Structure 1
């Protein structure tokens, strides 16, 4: 079983925080801005909000938030409650937090940003529900969400950034003309359904569960048997927090064997996950899925065929893997992730970028 990465905040020496600050604040080299197109909009939006965010920080805060692009922390990610690399919300004032969430919205859609805020709110709800018992386990703190920026030498492309804490990991790589890669993108919810209190009944990731059950029940008995890969689900997503997803065999029901109505439902579910990203990034992901062959997607299911019992599903194709798991805490604890099988953390596009524009 793969264990989550444990993060240790690195100690910084030298001038790198000053370099990235100078570049983004306009005191040195400006980030390249491609002419026109969605990719240019991605870069312009991220660079502008990065400048705004960094301008709110003092020197110490910038040093905590800024890293070179090739630092190993860029490709380490986790979704358990622990300290991360970067500047935490608890180290920011109200204005800085507002700028940080504006920055987050350059990689996520309006819905995605709302989900991120909801996950952070759930952390406080979970702390209240656990009460004194939480002292025996990991801290539940809505202020332990961390923003980290990564930039190339002299503040050049490629760029990257992450926003991460318990049940949330947003990893963005900006490659200029190639636009943004928003992957891995993890979102979870505990409790999946709030049992009591002012927010009782709230289901932050309701659509991710409901649309999948609708698709499962649209399948005929033969199709459902083909889609079901296990009677019991794992207690977590299968890929955990590996930096790169290795070869996973296709399993379950191929979209090629679905009816038109079932394929449309599968697309709705896939678009729900892609819709967490900024529009341009989502469009590029969906276009690549279609180019690789939508009919090659596989829908796999494990566990119960009804809600409120442990269940798992995934959507797996040549370029994408979406996983959903609701098996912990009496099936009231959801983990979901979007993996770009070619371009997590930039991946193949990043290698192509370096081949064409060598960096020291």
Structure 2
């Protein structure tokens, strides 16, 4: 998917909207709303699926699917579907949002576009709701940023309804446990920095994030088999991105040095009790946390330490074109 094609899909979506809905969806690229990331069920700006007719909804989903890799779109759809599961599990018809709609609502996901996709200037867009925050930036004829990228699941493993034992973030969990449980005593002392996992990812919804400490075990201190598992785990996260951006992000990580990657763990070494891990490098922070609801409620986030929201790319663009 080229940025031009993505621009065309965004423009097609916008052209289908009424003036009233278009007013809700459009923001200036520099608007502070672009950095208002969140992943809990709160009131948000931007229209939702409730506001769209079938053609508008199809165009919105086409834009979303074109902005993600196959795995990213799968996870997005399955996390949205978990809202129906939560409504059954919680069985609370009185749990409403301020606008009167159910708090658990698969239609309550918001679209915001920042800037003008039809122009040659940089622009961005966001898809966000409960347990999803996806932020995209396009500049200089390419998708220049797809972070922050957040996926969460509640329940982590569906243990009720007819979808029993379904787990949206299964590979993220399994490979993490495989890696930590392959470590010898010396490696474990370096990697596991506390026996109690944090209550959430440390980066939360902060606009800017930095490397976290302690960093954990270095890639160079892993065995060859362990290195392979770590790279498989890293690939699970990067494969959610649109293929061209995934490739450029991989190159960025390699250019900064695979040997500079680290892996850190907190909490239980077995599923069912709170656990957390992070992968870090000079340009990368990935966090996975599963502590809530008896460790059956997972949060996973990818941050680019140098280019979240495309800020690094945009600085270069403005330097060249608006000196």
TM-score bracket, normalised by the shorter chain, equals over 0.9
Partners of 2:7 and 2:118 within 8 A in 1:
no
CA distance in 2, matches of 1:177, 1:58: 28
Moved more, 82-91 or 307-316: 82-91
CA distance in 1, matches of 2:141, 2:60: 24
Alignment partner of 1:337 out of 285, 301, 323:
301
2:208 maps to 244
CA distance in 2, matches of 1:67, 1:87: 12
2:196 maps to 232
Instruction: Note the alpha carbon deviations across 1:230-289, whole angstroms, 9 max, x for none.
Output: 110111001110011035335110101111211111111001100000011111111111
> How has the CA–CA distance of structure 1 residues 46 and 154 changed in structure 2, closer, same or farther, with 3 Å as cutoff?
closer
CA distance in 2, matches of 1:235, 1:46: 37
1:141 maps to 105
SS at 2:148 equivalent: strand
Figure out how many residues of one structure are paired with residues of the other and give that number.
319
2:80 maps to 120
**Normalised TM-score (structure 1):** 0.85
User: Offset of 1:305 from its aligned partner?
Assistant: 0.3
Segments of structure 1 that go 5 or more residues without pairing to the other structure are 1-40
Alignment partner of 2:222 out of 258, 263, 269:
258
CA distance in 1, matches of 2:94, 2:74: 26
Alignment partner of 2:172 out of 198, 205, 208:
208
- Report whether the alignment pairs 1:297 with 2:261: yes
SS at 1:269 equivalent: helix
Alignment partner of 2:50 out of 90, 95, 98:
90
User: Offset of 1:357 from its aligned partner?
Assistant: 1.2
CA distance in 1, matches of 2:146, 2:106: 23
SS at 1:99 equivalent: helix
User: Offset of 1:97 from its aligned partner?
Assistant: 1.6
Partners of 1:127 and 1:134 within 8 A in 2:
no
Segments of structure 2 that go 5 or more residues without pairing to the other structure are none
1:174 maps to 138
> How has the CA–CA distance of structure 1 residues 247 and 193 changed in structure 2, closer, same or farther, with 3 Å as cutoff?
closer
**Normalised TM-score (structure 2):** 0.94
- Report whether the alignment pairs 1:66 with 2:30: no
Partners of 1:42 and 1:106 within 8 A in 2:
no
User: Offset of 1:85 from its aligned partner?
Assistant: 1.8
CA distance in 2, matches of 1:53, 1:63: 13
- Report whether the alignment pairs 1:183 with 2:142: no
- Report whether the alignment pairs 1:109 with 2:63: no
CA RMSD for the aligned pairs?
1.8
> How has the CA–CA distance of structure 1 residues 103 and 152 changed in structure 2, closer, same or farther, with 3 Å as cutoff?
closer
